[in-house]
Amino acid sequence: MTLTEAELTDRLAAVDDPENGDDIVSMGLVDDVTISDGTAEVSLAFNAPHAPAEMAIGDAVREVIEEAGLEPDLRAEFREEHGHKTDVLPGVRNVIAVASGKGGVGKTTVAANLAAGLRERGARVGILDADVHGPNVPRLLPTENEPGVTPNEEIVPPAADGVRVMSTDHLMPDGDQPAVLRGPMVNNVMMKFVNEVEWGRLDYLVVDLPPGTGDASLNLLQSLPVAGVVIVTTPQEMAVADARKGLRLFDEHDAPVLGVVENMSAFRCPECGDTHAVFGEGGGDEIRDDYGVPVLSRLPVHPDFDSAGSDGPSVRDPDSPVREDLFEMVDSVADRVGEVNRRRVAERVGEWDGEDDERREASDGPPEPDAVSVSE
Protein backbone atom coordinates (compact mmCIF):
# COMPACT_ATOMS: atom_id res chain seq x y z
CA MET A 1 0.00 0.00 0.00
CA THR A 2 1.36 3.38 -1.01
CA LEU A 3 1.92 5.85 1.79
CA THR A 4 0.14 9.18 1.85
CA GLU A 5 2.10 12.41 2.13
CA ALA A 6 1.01 12.80 5.75
CA GLU A 7 2.13 9.27 6.64
CA LEU A 8 5.52 9.81 5.04
CA THR A 9 5.89 13.11 6.90
CA ASP A 10 5.21 11.26 10.16
CA ARG A 11 7.99 8.81 9.32
CA LEU A 12 10.38 11.66 8.59
CA ALA A 13 9.95 12.76 12.20
CA ALA A 14 12.38 9.95 13.02
CA VAL A 15 15.18 12.01 11.43
CA ASP A 16 16.95 14.25 13.93
CA ASP A 17 18.91 17.45 13.54
CA PRO A 18 21.88 16.44 15.72
CA GLU A 19 23.19 20.00 16.20
CA ASN A 20 19.84 21.43 17.34
CA GLY A 21 18.61 18.39 19.25
CA ASP A 22 15.16 17.84 17.71
CA ASP A 23 13.57 16.16 14.71
CA ILE A 24 13.31 17.90 11.36
CA VAL A 25 9.50 17.82 11.26
CA SER A 26 9.07 19.46 14.68
CA MET A 27 11.57 22.13 13.63
CA GLY A 28 9.62 22.94 10.46
CA LEU A 29 12.49 21.91 8.21
CA VAL A 30 10.26 19.76 5.98
CA ASP A 31 8.67 22.31 3.65
CA ASP A 32 6.73 20.04 1.36
CA VAL A 33 6.14 16.34 0.66
CA THR A 34 4.65 15.13 -2.61
CA ILE A 35 4.25 11.51 -3.73
CA SER A 36 3.69 10.74 -7.41
CA ASP A 37 4.36 7.61 -9.52
CA GLY A 38 6.45 5.97 -6.82
CA THR A 39 8.65 9.02 -6.23
CA ALA A 40 8.62 11.10 -3.07
CA GLU A 41 9.59 14.71 -3.64
CA VAL A 42 10.68 16.30 -0.37
CA SER A 43 11.65 19.96 0.02
CA LEU A 44 13.89 20.73 2.99
CA ALA A 45 14.59 24.16 4.47
CA PHE A 46 18.36 23.80 4.16
CA ASN A 47 20.71 26.60 3.14
CA ALA A 48 24.30 25.47 3.69
CA PRO A 49 25.38 23.71 0.48
CA HIS A 50 28.07 21.06 0.96
CA ALA A 51 27.87 21.24 4.76
CA PRO A 52 28.57 17.69 5.99
CA ALA A 53 25.83 17.79 8.64
CA GLU A 54 23.10 18.76 6.16
CA MET A 55 24.28 16.14 3.68
CA ALA A 56 24.11 13.54 6.50
CA ILE A 57 20.56 14.61 7.38
CA GLY A 58 19.67 14.38 3.68
CA ASP A 59 21.06 10.84 3.59
CA ALA A 60 18.90 9.92 6.60
CA VAL A 61 15.80 11.36 4.89
CA ARG A 62 16.65 9.43 1.74
CA GLU A 63 16.94 6.22 3.75
CA VAL A 64 13.49 6.70 5.33
CA ILE A 65 11.95 7.25 1.90
CA GLU A 66 13.63 4.19 0.41
CA GLU A 67 12.50 2.04 3.35
CA ALA A 68 8.96 3.14 2.50
CA GLY A 69 9.43 1.68 -0.98
CA LEU A 70 9.65 5.06 -2.71
CA GLU A 71 12.25 6.76 -4.87
CA PRO A 72 13.62 9.87 -3.09
CA ASP A 73 13.84 13.24 -4.84
CA LEU A 74 15.18 15.77 -2.34
CA ARG A 75 15.38 19.51 -2.76
CA ALA A 76 16.86 22.16 -0.48
CA GLU A 77 15.16 25.54 -0.47
CA PHE A 78 15.58 28.17 2.21
CA ARG A 79 12.87 30.82 2.61
CA GLU A 80 13.25 33.89 4.79
CA GLU A 81 9.78 35.37 5.18
CA HIS A 82 10.39 38.12 7.70
CA GLY A 83 12.92 40.90 8.13
CA HIS A 84 15.01 40.00 5.11
CA LYS A 85 17.06 42.63 3.25
CA THR A 86 15.93 41.49 -0.22
CA ASP A 87 17.63 44.40 -1.97
CA VAL A 88 21.11 43.56 -0.65
CA LEU A 89 23.08 40.79 -2.38
CA PRO A 90 19.95 39.03 -3.64
CA GLY A 91 21.93 36.24 -5.29
CA VAL A 92 24.04 35.36 -2.24
CA ARG A 93 22.79 32.60 0.04
CA ASN A 94 25.16 33.08 2.99
CA VAL A 95 27.48 35.92 4.02
CA ILE A 96 30.25 34.73 6.36
CA ALA A 97 32.27 37.50 8.00
CA VAL A 98 35.79 36.65 9.21
CA ALA A 99 36.98 38.99 11.94
CA SER A 100 39.71 39.46 14.52
CA GLY A 101 40.21 41.78 17.46
CA LYS A 102 43.74 42.66 16.35
CA GLY A 103 46.03 42.30 13.37
CA GLY A 104 48.67 39.65 12.91
CA VAL A 105 46.58 36.64 13.94
CA GLY A 106 46.19 35.21 10.43
CA LYS A 107 42.65 36.41 9.74
CA THR A 108 43.14 36.92 6.00
CA THR A 109 44.88 33.56 5.64
CA VAL A 110 41.95 31.87 7.38
CA ALA A 111 39.44 33.77 5.22
CA ALA A 112 41.21 32.88 1.97
CA ASN A 113 41.53 29.21 2.90
CA LEU A 114 37.89 29.13 4.00
CA ALA A 115 36.76 30.52 0.63
CA ALA A 116 39.05 28.23 -1.35
CA GLY A 117 38.08 25.22 0.77
CA LEU A 118 34.36 25.80 0.27
CA ARG A 119 35.04 26.05 -3.45
CA GLU A 120 37.01 22.80 -3.32
CA ARG A 121 33.96 21.17 -1.71
CA GLY A 122 31.91 22.26 -4.73
CA ALA A 123 30.22 25.45 -3.54
CA ARG A 124 29.88 28.71 -5.48
CA VAL A 125 32.05 31.14 -3.53
CA GLY A 126 33.16 34.75 -3.52
CA ILE A 127 35.41 36.67 -1.16
CA LEU A 128 35.19 40.38 -0.38
CA ASP A 129 38.43 41.88 0.92
CA ALA A 130 36.99 44.52 3.26
CA ASP A 131 40.34 45.22 4.91
CA VAL A 132 40.84 48.36 2.85
CA HIS A 133 44.10 49.40 4.54
CA GLY A 134 45.66 45.95 4.21
CA PRO A 135 44.07 44.30 1.17
CA ASN A 136 46.05 41.06 1.03
CA VAL A 137 43.44 38.60 -0.23
CA PRO A 138 44.67 38.89 -3.86
CA ARG A 139 48.12 37.77 -2.69
CA LEU A 140 46.66 34.49 -1.48
CA LEU A 141 44.03 34.26 -4.21
CA PRO A 142 45.71 35.86 -7.24
CA THR A 143 43.35 36.52 -10.13
CA GLU A 144 44.29 36.20 -13.78
CA ASN A 145 42.21 39.18 -14.88
CA GLU A 146 41.18 42.61 -13.65
CA PRO A 147 37.58 43.36 -12.60
CA GLY A 148 35.13 43.77 -15.48
CA VAL A 149 32.18 46.09 -15.88
CA THR A 150 28.60 45.23 -16.93
CA PRO A 151 26.51 47.44 -19.26
CA ASN A 152 24.85 48.71 -16.05
CA GLU A 153 28.28 49.80 -14.78
CA GLU A 154 28.40 47.13 -12.09
CA ILE A 155 31.79 45.67 -11.21
CA VAL A 156 32.33 42.01 -12.14
CA PRO A 157 34.81 40.36 -9.75
CA PRO A 158 37.61 38.37 -11.38
CA ALA A 159 38.03 34.74 -10.36
CA ALA A 160 40.92 32.90 -8.72
CA ASP A 161 40.45 29.21 -9.54
CA GLY A 162 36.70 29.58 -9.28
CA VAL A 163 36.55 31.94 -6.28
CA ARG A 164 35.32 35.43 -7.20
CA VAL A 165 37.56 38.05 -5.59
CA MET A 166 36.91 41.75 -4.95
CA SER A 167 39.46 43.93 -3.18
CA THR A 168 40.64 47.54 -2.98
CA ASP A 169 43.95 46.12 -4.22
CA HIS A 170 42.28 45.80 -7.63
CA LEU A 171 41.64 49.54 -7.61
CA MET A 172 45.19 50.63 -6.81
CA PRO A 173 47.54 51.31 -9.75
CA ASP A 174 50.56 50.17 -7.73
CA GLY A 175 50.41 47.20 -5.40
CA ASP A 176 52.76 48.95 -2.95
CA GLN A 177 50.71 52.15 -2.86
CA PRO A 178 48.96 52.66 0.50
CA ALA A 179 45.19 53.16 0.59
CA VAL A 180 44.97 56.56 2.32
CA LEU A 181 41.31 56.56 3.26
CA ARG A 182 39.54 58.22 6.19
CA GLY A 183 36.34 57.01 7.84
CA PRO A 184 33.69 58.30 5.37
CA MET A 185 35.82 57.25 2.39
CA VAL A 186 36.21 53.74 3.83
CA ASN A 187 32.46 53.51 4.16
CA ASN A 188 32.00 54.70 0.57
CA VAL A 189 34.36 52.02 -0.72
CA MET A 190 32.60 49.32 1.28
CA MET A 191 29.17 50.39 0.08
CA LYS A 192 30.47 50.39 -3.48
CA PHE A 193 31.54 46.79 -3.04
CA VAL A 194 28.16 45.88 -1.57
CA ASN A 195 25.88 47.78 -3.94
CA GLU A 196 27.84 48.01 -7.20
CA VAL A 197 29.40 44.54 -7.54
CA GLU A 198 27.69 41.84 -9.59
CA TRP A 199 28.50 38.75 -7.55
CA GLY A 200 26.03 36.54 -9.39
CA ARG A 201 24.74 33.42 -7.66
CA LEU A 202 26.86 32.43 -4.68
CA ASP A 203 26.40 29.83 -1.97
CA TYR A 204 28.86 31.66 0.27
CA LEU A 205 30.36 35.15 0.28
CA VAL A 206 33.30 35.30 2.68
CA VAL A 207 34.01 38.83 3.94
CA ASP A 208 37.51 39.49 5.28
CA LEU A 209 36.84 42.29 7.77
CA PRO A 210 39.55 44.72 8.91
CA PRO A 211 40.98 43.93 12.35
CA GLY A 212 39.46 45.60 15.37
CA THR A 213 36.01 47.07 15.96
CA GLY A 214 36.07 50.14 13.72
CA ASP A 215 33.66 51.81 11.31
CA ALA A 216 34.13 49.37 8.44
CA SER A 217 33.00 46.39 10.51
CA LEU A 218 30.03 48.27 11.93
CA ASN A 219 28.92 49.58 8.54
CA LEU A 220 29.08 46.13 6.96
CA LEU A 221 27.18 44.56 9.85
CA GLN A 222 24.45 47.13 9.41
CA SER A 223 24.33 46.71 5.63
CA LEU A 224 24.76 43.01 4.95
CA PRO A 225 22.53 40.04 5.77
CA VAL A 226 25.27 38.27 7.73
CA ALA A 227 24.68 34.55 8.28
CA GLY A 228 27.44 34.43 10.87
CA VAL A 229 30.85 35.63 12.02
CA VAL A 230 34.04 33.62 12.45
CA ILE A 231 36.39 35.08 15.09
CA VAL A 232 40.11 34.43 14.50
CA THR A 233 42.55 34.61 17.38
CA THR A 234 45.84 33.17 18.55
CA PRO A 235 46.31 31.69 22.04
CA GLN A 236 48.21 34.80 23.18
CA GLU A 237 46.57 36.71 26.02
CA MET A 238 46.30 40.06 24.20
CA ALA A 239 44.88 38.46 21.05
CA VAL A 240 42.26 36.63 23.10
CA ALA A 241 41.32 39.81 24.99
CA ASP A 242 40.80 41.70 21.73
CA ALA A 243 38.88 38.79 20.22
CA ARG A 244 36.48 38.91 23.15
CA LYS A 245 35.82 42.60 22.44
CA GLY A 246 35.03 41.79 18.82
CA LEU A 247 32.70 39.01 19.88
CA ARG A 248 30.81 41.41 22.13
CA LEU A 249 30.47 43.87 19.24
CA PHE A 250 28.91 41.28 16.93
CA ASP A 251 26.66 39.96 19.67
CA GLU A 252 25.35 43.46 20.38
CA HIS A 253 24.53 43.88 16.68
CA ASP A 254 22.68 40.55 16.45
CA ALA A 255 25.25 38.95 14.16
CA PRO A 256 25.49 35.26 15.08
CA VAL A 257 29.00 34.26 16.07
CA LEU A 258 29.66 30.91 14.42
CA GLY A 259 32.67 30.22 16.59
CA VAL A 260 36.38 30.77 17.12
CA VAL A 261 39.31 29.67 14.99
CA GLU A 262 42.42 29.44 17.15
CA ASN A 263 45.30 30.01 14.75
CA MET A 264 48.95 29.24 15.60
CA SER A 265 47.66 27.03 18.38
CA ALA A 266 50.76 24.80 18.47
CA PHE A 267 53.88 23.82 16.58
CA ARG A 268 54.23 20.22 15.46
CA CYS A 269 57.88 19.25 15.32
CA PRO A 270 58.50 17.44 12.00
CA GLU A 271 61.52 15.65 13.48
CA CYS A 272 60.27 14.33 16.82
CA GLY A 273 56.52 14.55 16.25
CA ASP A 274 55.94 16.43 19.51
CA THR A 275 53.53 19.36 19.76
CA HIS A 276 54.69 22.60 21.39
CA ALA A 277 52.31 25.39 22.46
CA VAL A 278 54.76 28.19 21.63
CA PHE A 279 52.15 30.97 21.97
CA GLY A 280 50.38 29.59 25.01
CA GLU A 281 47.20 27.55 25.07
CA GLY A 282 43.57 27.60 26.09
CA GLY A 283 42.60 30.97 24.56
CA GLY A 284 39.87 29.54 22.37
CA ASP A 285 38.59 27.43 25.26
CA GLU A 286 38.26 30.52 27.46
CA ILE A 287 36.08 32.25 24.87
CA ARG A 288 34.03 29.09 24.41
CA ASP A 289 33.43 28.72 28.13
CA ASP A 290 32.58 32.39 28.72
CA TYR A 291 30.41 33.04 25.66
CA GLY A 292 29.03 29.64 24.68
CA VAL A 293 30.45 29.63 21.16
CA PRO A 294 32.36 26.64 19.82
CA VAL A 295 36.03 26.39 18.92
CA LEU A 296 35.68 25.64 15.21
CA SER A 297 39.30 24.72 14.63
CA ARG A 298 42.80 24.83 16.02
CA LEU A 299 45.30 25.50 13.26
CA PRO A 300 48.98 24.73 13.83
CA VAL A 301 51.99 26.98 13.38
CA HIS A 302 53.36 26.13 9.96
CA PRO A 303 55.30 27.89 7.17
CA ASP A 304 52.47 27.08 4.74
CA PHE A 305 50.48 29.84 6.38
CA ASP A 306 53.02 32.47 5.36
CA SER A 307 51.41 34.37 2.50
CA ALA A 308 54.72 35.77 1.21
CA GLY A 309 55.52 34.10 -2.08
CA SER A 310 52.57 31.77 -1.66
CA ASP A 311 51.35 29.73 -4.61
CA GLY A 312 47.82 29.91 -3.24
CA PRO A 313 45.84 28.68 -0.25
CA SER A 314 47.30 25.64 1.49
CA VAL A 315 43.88 23.98 1.43
CA ARG A 316 44.40 23.42 -2.30
CA ASP A 317 47.83 21.82 -1.92
CA PRO A 318 47.42 18.02 -1.72
CA ASP A 319 50.90 17.75 -0.22
CA SER A 320 50.43 20.35 2.50
CA PRO A 321 50.61 18.89 6.02
CA VAL A 322 47.98 21.41 7.17
CA ARG A 323 45.44 20.63 4.44
CA GLU A 324 43.47 18.23 6.64
CA ASP A 325 43.33 20.81 9.47
CA LEU A 326 42.04 23.42 7.04
CA PHE A 327 39.30 21.19 5.66
CA GLU A 328 38.19 20.43 9.21
CA MET A 329 37.88 24.18 9.71
CA VAL A 330 35.97 24.61 6.42
CA ASP A 331 33.52 21.83 7.29
CA SER A 332 33.02 23.13 10.83
CA VAL A 333 32.16 26.62 9.54
CA ALA A 334 29.73 25.26 6.93
CA ASP A 335 28.06 23.07 9.56
CA ARG A 336 27.63 26.02 11.91
CA VAL A 337 26.09 28.12 9.11
CA GLY A 338 23.61 25.31 8.53
CA GLU A 339 22.91 24.92 12.24
CA VAL A 340 22.20 28.64 12.68
CA ASN A 341 20.00 28.77 9.57
CA ARG A 342 17.97 25.70 10.59
CA ARG A 343 17.49 27.09 14.07
CA ARG A 344 16.30 30.36 12.52
CA VAL A 345 13.75 28.47 10.43
CA ALA A 346 12.47 26.61 13.49
CA GLU A 347 12.14 29.80 15.52
CA ARG A 348 10.32 31.53 12.68
CA VAL A 349 7.88 28.65 12.29
CA GLY A 350 7.04 29.17 15.96
CA GLU A 351 6.17 25.57 16.73
CA TRP A 352 9.57 24.50 18.00
CA ASP A 353 10.41 24.31 21.68
CA GLY A 354 14.03 23.29 21.27
CA GLU A 355 16.61 23.49 24.03
CA ASP A 356 17.74 26.91 25.22
CA ASP A 357 21.01 28.06 23.74
CA GLU A 358 23.34 30.69 25.13
CA ARG A 359 24.05 31.91 21.63
CA ARG A 360 21.76 34.69 20.41
CA GLU A 361 20.83 34.20 16.79
CA ALA A 362 20.10 37.04 14.38
CA SER A 363 16.53 37.83 13.32
CA ASP A 364 17.62 38.82 9.82
CA GLY A 365 18.60 35.96 7.57
CA PRO A 366 20.35 35.43 4.26
CA PRO A 367 18.60 35.95 0.93
CA GLU A 368 16.15 33.46 -0.51
CA PRO A 369 18.07 31.34 -3.03
CA ASP A 370 17.12 29.12 -5.87
CA ALA A 371 16.19 25.57 -4.90
CA VAL A 372 19.11 23.18 -5.07
CA SER A 373 19.56 19.44 -4.78
CA VAL A 374 20.41 18.16 -1.32
CA SER A 375 23.04 15.96 -2.93
CA GLU A 376 25.21 19.07 -3.65
Pick the more confident residue, 142 or 372.
Answer: 142
State whether 253 and 111 are in the same domain: yes
Last residue of a domain, one of 15, 44, 77: 77
Tens-place pLDDT, residues 320-339: 888 999 999 999 999 999 99
Instruction: Give the confidence band of 299 by pLDDT, cuts at 50, 70, 90.
Output: confident
At a CB cut-off of 8 Å and minimum separation 6, what does 1 contact? none
- Whether 135 is in a domain gets the answer yes
**Coil, strand or helix at 94:** strand
State whether 70 and 163 are in the same domain: no
State whether 68 and 99 are in the same domain: no
φ, ψ dihedrals at 239, nearest 5°: -65, -40
- Whether 97 is in a domain gets the answer yes
- Whether 69 is in a domain gets the answer yes
How far apart CA 160 and CA 326 sit, in angstroms, is: 18
State whether 69 and 97 are in the same domain: no
State whether 137 and 26 are in the same domain: no
State whether 154 and 290 are in the same domain: yes
Contact indicator for 254, 364 with CB cutoff of 8 Å: yes
CATH of the domain at 36: 3.30.300.130
Last residue of a domain, one of 45, 77, 109: 77
Tens-place pLDDT, residues 166-176: 987 776 655 55
pLDDT the model gives residue 312: 73
State whether 171 and 266 are in the same domain: yes
pLDDT the model gives residue 251: 78
State whether 121 and 25 are in the same domain: no
Contact indicator for 244, 229 with CB cutoff of 8 Å: no
- Whether 367 is in a domain gets the answer no
Tens-place pLDDT, residues 68-99: 999 999 999 766 543 344 567 888 999 999 98
φ, ψ dihedrals at 297, nearest 5°: -165, 150
Last residue of a domain, one of 23, 54, 77: 77
Instruction: Give the confidence band of 319 by pLDDT, cuts at 50, 70, 90.
Output: confident
How far apart CA 126 and CA 208 sit, in angstroms, is: 11
- Whether 113 is in a domain gets the answer yes
- Whether 375 is in a domain gets the answer no
Instruction: Give the confidence band of 359 by pLDDT, cuts at 50, 70, 90.
Output: very low
Instruction: Give the confidence band of 356 by pLDDT, cuts at 50, 70, 90.
Output: very low
Domain span at residue 148?
92-349
Tens-place pLDDT, residues 202-232: 999 999 988 876 666 777 777 888 899 999 9
- For residues 342-367, give the mean pLDDT: 58
State whether 105 and 245 are in the same domain: yes
Mean of all residue pLDDT scores within the chain? 81
**The total number of structural domains that make up the chain:** 2
State whether 96 and 73 are in the same domain: no
State whether 62 and 97 are in the same domain: no
At a CB cut-off of 8 Å and minimum separation 6, what does 215 contact? 183, 186, 187
CATH of the domain at 282: 3.40.50.300
Pick the more confident residue, 307 or 165.
Answer: 165
State whether 73 and 98 are in the same domain: no
- Whether 84 is in a domain gets the answer no
- Whether 357 is in a domain gets the answer no
